[in-house]
Amino acid sequence: MSNKATEAIKEKSMVIQKDMLANLFHELSKTKETGKKVVYTFVPGNLTELILSFDMLPVYPEINALQSGMRKKSASYIRDAEKLGFSEDVCTYVKCDIGMMLNGNIGPTGEKLPAPDLLLLSYTGCFTFMKWFENLERLYPGVPVAMLHTPYQEDGNITPEQVEYMVKQLKEDVIPKMEKVSGKRFDMERLAKMMVNSAKAEDLLVKILETAKNKPSPIDAYFAGVYYIGPIFTAFRGTDEAVEYYKELYAEVTERLKQGLGPVTPEGELKEEKFRLVVEGPPNWTNFREFWKIFYDAGAVIVASSYTKVGGVYDLGFRHNPEEPLESLSKYCMGCYTNMNLPQRVKLLADYVKEYKADGFLINSIKSCNSFSAGQLMIMREIEQRMEVPVGFIESDLVDPRYFSYANIKNRLESYFQMLEQRKIIMAQEAEKVM
Amino acid sequence: MNKYYLGVDLGSTTSKAVIINEQDEIIGRGITNTRANYSVAADIAKDEAIYNARFSILKKKLEAEIKSNPAYSKYINDLESVFQYEQFKIRLDKLGEELLKTCYTFFKDAAVQEKMIQHLRNIRKAFKPVIKHEYLYNNLGAKNQFFRDIVSEKYNDEVNKLEMSLFEPLMTVWDKSISPAENQLITFNFKELVEKAMDELREKYKNIPDEVMENTSVNFDAELNLLKGNFEKVYETLRVHIDEIAGLEFNITNMTGTGYGRALLPFPQECIRSEILCHAFGAHAVFPDTRTVLDIGGQDTKAIQVDRYGLVTSFQMNDRCAAGCGRYLGYIADEMSISLNELGPMALKAEKEVNICSTCTVFAGAELRELTNLGEKREDILGGLHKAIIMRAMSLLARSGGVFNEFTFTGGVARNPAVIKYLSELVKENYGDQIKINIHIDSIFMGALGGAMFARRNMNLSLPTGKAETA
């Protein structure tokens, strides 16, 4: 391989996405001049269309944290937050974000992020989110807070009463606060119009992710998947740009499929798909490339993952609906992956193993993330027993590099890939015996 | 020609080699400590396994004779033991050379040099016959496994008899010399050594007293006389067979490396397998109904679930904390100034288990001293320590999905009787009396065995490649 090996190969869609993000951060840096209001909010259960319908701009602290992780800035941010008194055990997204603020709140493009005009907590399934915004409220004294209490899917479904409860909160608390902050009246029609775009992009995303059902898969639904979900899970859902991005991406992926090509890795196209895996849990961001490399070097492709569903499990059928904008926002909040109960998650993952013809199931357990890590051992055991595929378990962290032990992770993953390989060898021998 | 397969398990503490035949039967085992570099350790273990294989082939050849005359079996065991002594002697000479070398470079003063060399000669003279006797009469026991352990114990004993001022210089000379001596790869001439061993044995049996001593039992003496007489009778037959096995060529058809040092082995990539797979496969081969495997090695603990083919379906690993691994026991033994192999038997004498709170190996040393100061008995503290290790293993097993029938325990720590005691108790307590617990005498070799079996089964195989299909 040439010495350009370290230079990532970029598809056209990636360039489009990069421009979209650059424009957003630029716009954010200019809010003083433009007078646009800024809403800090989270990815799971985000109300992006609603925010955009008031001409406000969203900022996602956990996305900033993961970007800081990828840019190798998180270690010092976390250290600064710990100096302030945050314990070693606090979620590293929180500490990374706080550390970034303490260091001037410079975003991933090098431009300064504006202070929030509103803290919108739209998903309460993660208690850390609540504590996070309590801290931000102290760091930005006087900032208004809107909290939408999202009921957990305790019984595995969303009831009409729950939707009613959510809509009531939107109408009585969230929307009035947004009107006050933005100085604009709520425009239901505008919101509904955006939702037409949301549904279009959602349809395309599902089609893209489902191309991984093919052998070989034209995409890696985890390591590349985290890029694919970028626009729709963050500031662009409901926009024309997002629809254009997903059209382009879908065209690229279908072209790869037509040519029978494997996924694109930072070192070029994967030549041979040896193992197909379903992965549960977020990736590690501080050593993302190194982590990915262990997989593609072994010919392991992730065909489905739960992480690419944190901002919406669209493959289960949910779409934002212009006919009932507030109701569908409510259903969306309640339907995100970490708001599903454990039996639902197990079923989803077991279905993935079957539908995507996976050879194995792997968990990357994150020290920082309670919403994800709780129940993972049970999930693993269930998948092992129900689907009779080898399961693997590795441990790392979101953005704290102290918890990414390359040697340990590589050793475990190597063992896991050998488990899958040996299974193929022995099963082939057993099949021969029968014949 | 017979085909043989080799598995090498390079652990953090010991390196093991196993040779199997086409029927998956173990025909050779070799073990060495991993203080040497990994590639030397692998070669030593492999050579040992081949010597051992020759002896087991000898036993096989004589199967019929052994049945009619069980004494044969004893002769072969004796022969192997004396053969090991012959190897030992050669390595001891190497150590002698290293000790001299160190003396010359370390002590500048000629008089001091001469004095130290004289002491070293005396020390060697004093312990050599003792060790010879131990080898000849199989008195080495389990505690002295490796060259370093055997010699260092005797060396220490002798140095301790001398005046205090000599302790420091003699131990320094030792420390600087033992590793180079131990790390030399010596190619032994099997035929030559085995012939020497035959002569030694002949002497041994000849010297068995003819007359019944007053203080020995009649039975014992009669047995000795029988051995003596028989040895002369079989000597010639044995020699013919020995010539044959000495000339036997060992064609290793395929091999697999595993363990922590596996990446450093000069093996091709496809001949390297994770120790998780190997331990599971080995354990499953020996106990085919195995579903859960616990392996406690020197520097990690693994709880492994396997299917009916011996293939791993999931595993959990403690690779972060030494408390709960073999090294923990090694550390405790050092802290208590006793040998590793004495720990278990001492812990078995516990009348209660002192609660050990430390979850850290290094701090366990401090806790140990604290508890001793508080008047707790050593046995009871050791009982508690052993139980603490097993408690950690139980938690790892739970994480991996629990214990399913049958349960096989592997790794070097499986030799420790107190570990076995607490493990059996806790497994039954947590998973019921119905769980069958397997511990094989070769438990330390399970990884190498699994490796050798993979070497046999993975011959000439390529992975089935996925054909393109559209969903």
Domain boundaries, chain B: 1-61+251-287+447-460, 62-250, 288-439
Q: Do A423 and B311 touch (CB under 8 A)?
A: yes
- E-strand ranges in A29-121 read 38-40, 57-59, 118-121
Judge whether A334 and A328 are in contact, CB under 8 Å: no
Q: Do A418 and B457 touch (CB under 8 A)?
A: no
Between CA B433 and CA B427 the distance in angstroms is 8
Contacts of A149-155 with CB under 8 Å at 24 or more apart are: A149/A124, A150/A45, A150/A122, A150/A123, A150/A124, A150/A125, A150/A333, A150/A334, A150/A339, A151/A334, A152/A125, A152/A339, A152/A341, A153/A334, A153/A335, A153/A339, A153/A340, A153/A341, A153/A344, A154/A341, A155/A341
> Which of B336, B329, B268, B278 is closest to B302 using CA atoms?
B278
Q: How confident is the model over A352-356, as a mean pLDDT? A: 98
Instruction: Output the pLDDT for position A5.
Output: 43
Rg (CA), chain B: 25
Which residues on B lie below 8 Å from A424 (Cβ)?
463-464
Question: Is A1 within a domain?
Answer: no
Q: Give the number of other Cβ atoms within 10 Å of residue B151's Cβ.
A: 22
Which residues on B lie below 8 Å from A392 (Cβ)?
314-315
> Which of A36, A30, A67, A49 is closest to A235 using CA atoms?
A49
Distance from CA of B75 to the nearest CA of A (A): 41
Between CA A426 and CA A418 the distance in angstroms is 12
Is ipTM over 0.85?
A: no
B417-431 and B378-400 helices cross at what angle (nearest 10)? 50
Q: What is the enclosing helix (H) or strand (E) of B32?
A: strand B26-33
Q: What is the enclosing helix (H) or strand (E) of A217?
A: none
Q: Which amino acid is at B113?
A: Q
Instruction: Output the pLDDT for position B184.
Output: 84
> Which of B136, B157, B134 is closest to B144 using CA atoms?
B134
Q: Do A415 and B469 touch (CB under 8 A)?
A: no
Judge whether B63 and B57 are in contact, CB under 8 Å: no
Instruction: Output the pLDDT for position B225.
Output: 55
Judge whether B410 and B293 are in contact, CB under 8 Å: yes
pLDDT at A298 exceeding the cut of 90: yes
Judge whether A179 and A316 are in contact, CB under 8 Å: no
Instruction: Output the pLDDT for position A95.
Output: 95
Q: Which amino acid is at A32?
A: K
Q: Domain B288-439: which CATH class?
A: alpha beta
Between CA A195 and CA A1 the distance in angstroms is 46
> Which of B35, B443, B6, B26 is closest to B258 using CA atoms?
B6
Decide which of B275 and A346 is more confident. A346
> Which of B213, B262, B279 is closest to B443 using CA atoms?
B279
Written as six digits, the tokens of A339 are 């708001």
Distance from CA of B318 to the nearest CA of A (A): 10
Between CA B102 and CA B175 the distance in angstroms is 10
- Residues in chain B with pLDDT < 50? 142, 211-213, 216-218, 220-221, 461-471
Judge whether B158 and B128 are in contact, CB under 8 Å: no
In total, how many domains does chain A have? 1
Between CA A287 and CA A72 the distance in angstroms is 9
| Residue A377 at interface with chain B, using a CB cutoff of 8 Å | yes
Which residues on A lie below 8 Å from B292 (Cβ)?
none
Q: Do B314 and A414 touch (CB under 8 A)?
A: no
> Which of B132, B121, B127 is closest to B99 using CA atoms?
B121
Between CA A412 and CA A294 the distance in angstroms is 11
pLDDT at A208 exceeding the cut of 60: yes
Mutate to test the interface with A, among B267, B272, B312 (most CBs of A within 10 A): B312
Nearest beta carbon to residue B276 from set A388, A415, A426: A415
| Residue A272 at interface with chain B, using a CB cutoff of 8 Å | yes
What count of CB pairs under 8 Å joins A to B? 88
DSSP letters for A306-354: SGGGTT--GGGT----TTSHHHHHHHHHHHSGGGS-HHHHHHHHHHHHH
Instruction: Output the pLDDT for position B152.
Output: 87
Question: Is A2 within a domain?
Answer: no
Between CA B422 and CA B435 the distance in angstroms is 15
Domain assignment of residue A102, given as a range: 12-434
What does DSSP assign to residue B134? H
- Listed in sequence order, the residues at least 6 apart from B267 whose beta carbon sits closer than 8 Å to its beta carbon are B255, B256, B257
pLDDT at A38 exceeding the cut of 90: yes
User: What are B254's strand-pairing partners?
Assistant: B5
Q: Write out pLDDT tens, residues A143-195.
A: 999 999 999 999 999 999 999 999 999 999 999 999 999 999 999 999 999 99
Written as six digits, the tokens of B113 are 């040099």
- Listed in sequence order, the residues at least 6 apart from B318 whose beta carbon sits closer than 8 Å to its beta carbon are B300, B301, B302, B324, B325, B392, B396
Question: Is A5 within a domain?
Answer: no
Between CA A213 and CA A311 the distance in angstroms is 21
- Half-sphere exposure of residue A420: CA atoms within 13 angstroms, side-chain side: 23
Written as six digits, the tokens of A162 are 């729950």
Judge whether B280 and B317 are in contact, CB under 8 Å: no
Judge whether B203 and B159 are in contact, CB under 8 Å: no
DSSP letters for A263-288: -EETTEE-----EEEEEESPPPSTTH
Judge whether A416 and A362 are in contact, CB under 8 Å: yes
The residue whose two tokens read 């985000």 is A46
Distance from CA of B22 to the nearest CA of A (A): 16
Instruction: Output the pLDDT for position B11.
Output: 87
Q: Write out pLDDT tens, residues B258-304.
A: 987 777 777 777 788 888 999 999 999 999 999 999 999 888 899 99
Written as six digits, the tokens of B200 are 């030694």
Tell me the pLDDT of chain A averaged across its residues. Answer: 93
- Residue A32, classified by CB atoms within 10 Å of its CB into exposed (0-12), middle (13-18) or buried (19+), is exposed
Torsions phi, psi of A217, nearest 5? -75, 135
CATH code, B1-61+251-287+447-460: 3.30.420.40
Rg (CA), chain A: 22
- Listed in sequence order, the residues at least 6 apart from B17 whose beta carbon sits closer than 8 Å to its beta carbon are B6, B7, B8, B9, B28, B29, B30, B31, B42, B45, B46, B48, B49, B448
The residue whose two tokens read 């809010």 is A31
Question: Is A386 within a domain?
Answer: yes
Nearest CA in chain B to A411: B274
Instruction: Output the pLDDT for position A364.
Output: 96
Judge whether B10 and B36 are in contact, CB under 8 Å: no
Q: Write out pLDDT tens, residues A81-93.
A: 999 999 988 999 9
Judge whether B305 and B404 are in contact, CB under 8 Å: yes
Q: Do A408 and B320 touch (CB under 8 A)?
A: yes
Contacts of B98-102 with CB under 8 Å at 24 or more apart are: B98/B177, B98/B178, B98/B180, B98/B181, B99/B173, B99/B174, B99/B177, B101/B177, B102/B173, B102/B176, B102/B177
Which residues on B lie below 8 Å from A260 (Cβ)?
468
| Residue B269 at interface with chain A, using a CB cutoff of 8 Å | no
Tell whether pTM > 0.95: no
Decide which of B211 and A67 is more confident. A67
